[in-house]
Chain A
């Protein structure tokens, strides 16, 4: 019989009792640019198979043609490219209208792939060949890489791919059931009947497990179970979803796919009980030619016929060792497939090899007969997918008579049911499932009670609606059926279809000394493909056992780690929550063309088009800057002065009501941590400010001291940063502007001098406060108004001051102005090593205080001279503005400092800087050398003081 890779004839069967396709909805899609039709409910592969296609991919290394093996999510031969999405499971993904599907890693086509030439040099490409090749000469590594890239498996990722919407969700069910077969459904229902909130997770598109392709009676039982699940309001069903991992404390991750609103969703669940009902996975048989298109597992055949009404071939040989294989024979015959021969392993018969190229054309049996066929069906046994149980600490134990692994020891919060723990009739499996569900609830109730006792919000268990009902239940035993141990024929074949690893490769690895399953895995990459060992682990163990002449139970399995199945990066990233903070005046800034500055979480106006002009306007007229992000703390209590004395280097005990003082905060190593002003509003009421970037850290610092070191102090420190819209009104006309809007306050210089705070009513808004301080060096006031009125007050100031030349100014202009005045910025002009003396703050440090944070280090620093100093600098070339961070170098070329701040000064029409320099270069008048980023050098002079403009401060004290 001549086997053809494709046929013109349709392989679609008439209606099947359990089919999942909807024949009323038919549409088209493309496969390698050729149009095909599908029914709603078809998978990509079932639709193509119905059209007679048999080849869907080329193998990883040898580029051998590959067809359907399992017809399920795990099918290693059906991994396809769908649009811009690579590595799609074609035997699981449903067709949608217009889908564009392509084969992966084939050139120039699937039918004729040049890379199949690898087969001719296969003897040079055994498993692990890359450990011995592509090493020398090293200069050829780039060439090796470019060659190997062309042979890399997998699809293509497009840089232009549209980012999908990936979601996240947190749930806290009483019971999670992983697996929606009959035992899983029974467990979920039993748990729900006892009041549990249940999440039932099923990898396929429908509940049912193996019942879906069962006989009439099984389909009826399935319908009944599904109806019960539908009616159970406390069972949440997640279809096309998989439990990807089980972590400590039954933290379980579930991946939901293809939701209406999201590509995927990662559900993070904290389950009180986890029930694993993952069923059994049919195991392939290892023999020569076992990867030729037309060789399938019995469950693949039964799926194709019963679910998708697809005839898998014309003439079949069935190699069976169990009832599933027997049932496959019946299904084939019902579907009109000629069953040429049934080779029954239970009677001692075996197959030797499959023959064919692009498609199967015959099978050699062990009695010498060669049977013509285009379909070989194998049913040689099962693998228990114990991954989730392994993640819970279980190491499975091999049962010789059943020829498979079983779980052994599980923690209290994890149970298993169904085929994974035993065999038996359908009724026995369902009964076991129900019992497991009840036990799961009993254990969940214990966890729920403990959680409730630890949570102040929790309602007492007996008063909670739908509380868990705990019943006494023990788990029945499931029988374990005997099964022939069939892993490999007398010939060699593919063991890991995804990685193109053969049994010969495994023997070779053992010969080379990799004689444990962990070493074999890593050397050959067997079990490391997309199926992650679910199809091949036991066969690998069996072959290694054979090669080492050890029993399988001694070889064991590798350790399964999460994720159970591959997870997209999109699902792991999910929704990226990046909080953004805005001032109340942000809409105004946007309307007036502010260029945004990202300052931590805050968005601030950097400038409104011309920072230099904004700075000049502050020096000439009046400017407004939004300083709302400034950290602000409301301090109340009789012990506030003690707190201030502790946190700051300067003294606070005599700060009068209405007075403001600048403070420097150091960490316990004496390094400058933050700075700001604190004003006394009342007897026991202060307001402290901090830098906007340091506000959170300062609050933690305050609370740390109050809660751990001085809980006896009667102080309440409450962050009020967002409570006030803060506006700095700066410039020679600032007083004039505020006189027009402020009530109940005398703004005259002698009544309201520099460094004072007053409560005020501004623009008809009560509960404002105003301090006369400034960062710009001009007459200025910082007004704080209740935040909801911020926009109103800002707009009022802008309108009211129009004739005074009021303009907004942004952060950039403020930086220019403060640099002209020589004011340092903590974190810019200081760094993680800058102690207070080095920042030129000796005037603020009061070492005669009893104690304060950082005092011991500062006492030590005060006795030394060998620290860098913060100084003012002016480049000799007034037009040159050195980049911030430029190094200051000594005569011998060694680094002797750096430029910390640098700008062109509009007021002075020349460049100005602050910098840290070595002590021997810090004297006023010293000429230092600045090395610019391009390597050139420029001289600069150390100034007498930090301030470059109005050093006496006459303008701000006016």
Chain B
């Protein structure tokens, strides 16, 4: 009886209609507007910490400030030295896609499942960077933050990892940040995006 009602919830209240997806309560709303915002919190998120220039770094082969997908579709990003975020589909274990055991000891490697520690939001559309320009001081031009750029900055005064992860030829950014700020930051992004008619688009798996 208990497990039937077991619901994983995002810190961001889902916009109706609501449905269950992989045990998560998500918005089933679909939008075809030019600029869309999606609560991507159900994504699985693993943090790997290891020396910045050690075996783990060679294993991931993603240079600092960049993000790339590996052969299994897991998005590997590194916005700070010695930290790699592995982001995968909900309920998956992204770390399984990486042979972390192959890293030689005694290099200290820590794997933390921080799926629940982070909220995540995706902004997609031609004006996604214009929305972000209102809440983030980073240079979002093609030259400085092209597709595949990963960085950490302040977004509406919340420390946020920003990954430029274009989707189907559309400019797209995946933001992830400490979960407790989830509703606040989502609301701040909606407010900033009002000028560009941003619309909420529900989470569609795999979402990454």
B-contacting residues of A (Cβ < 8 Å)? Answer: 167-172, 197, 259-262, 268, 270, 448, 451-452, 455-459, 461, 464-467, 575, 577-584, 587, 602, 628-629, 634, 636-638, 714-716, 718-724, 741, 763-765, 767, 786-792, 796
Contacts and interface: CB of A to CB of B under 8 A. Distances in A.
Given A457-B65, A577-B157, A714-B108, A584 B143 contact: no
Contacts of A722: 116-118, 178-180
A792 B6 contact: yes
A457 B181 contact: no
B207 interface: no
Contact of B194 (A169, A261, A580, A719): A261
Given A581-B184, A637-B108, A455 B142 contact: no
B143 A452 contact: yes
B10 interface: yes
B143 A467 contact: yes
A718 B144 contact: no
A800 to B, nearest CB: 9
Given A456-B64, A722-B180, A788-B24, A170 B133 contact: yes
A593 to B, nearest CB: 19
A718 B112 contact: yes
Interface in B124-172: 133-146, 149-151, 156-158
A266 to B, nearest CB: 11
A720 B116 CA distance: 9
Contact of B112 (A168, A634, A714): A634
Interface string B162-205: 00000000000000001111111100100110110000000000
A459 B144 CA distance: 6
A459 B116 contact: no
Nearest to B194: A261
Given A457-B145, A464-B143, A575-B191, A720 B108 contact: no
A581 B181 contact: yes
A261 B195 contact: yes
Contacts of A578: 157
Contact of B9 (A261, A581, A741, A791): A791
Q: Which one of A448, A456, A763 has the greatest number of beta carbons of chain B within 10 Å? A: A456
Contacts of A575: 134-135, 156, 188, 191-192
Interface of B: 2-3, 5-11, 13, 24, 41, 47, 49, 63-66, 106, 108, 110, 112-118, 133-146, 149-151, 156-158, 178-185, 188, 191-192, 194-195
Given A172-B144, A788-B9, A788-B115, 14 more contacts: A170-B136, A172-B139, A172-B140, A261-B195, A270-B139, A455-B65, A575-B188, A579-B184, A582-B180, A582-B182, A714-B108, A716-B49, A718-B47, A788-B8
B16 to A, nearest CB: 15
A458 B144 contact: yes
Contacts of A584: 9, 11
Contact of A457 (B5, B112, B144, B184): B144
Nearest to A634: B112
Contacts of A719: 178
A448 B143 contact: yes
Nearest to A259: B195
20 contacts: A168-B134, A172-B141, A197-B141, A261-B194, A448-B143, A451-B144, A455-B144, A456-B65, A456-B66, A458-B144, A575-B134, A575-B188, A575-B191, A577-B135, A579-B156, A582-B183, A636-B108, A719-B178, A767-B113, A788-B24
A721 B133 contact: no
Contacts of B181: 579-581
Nearest to A793: B6
A268 B135 CA distance: 11
A789 B10 CA distance: 9
A786 B144 contact: no
Contacts of A455: 65, 144
A436 to B, nearest CB: 23
Given A583-B180, A718-B49, A791-B9, A786 B2 contact: no
Nearest to A637: B108
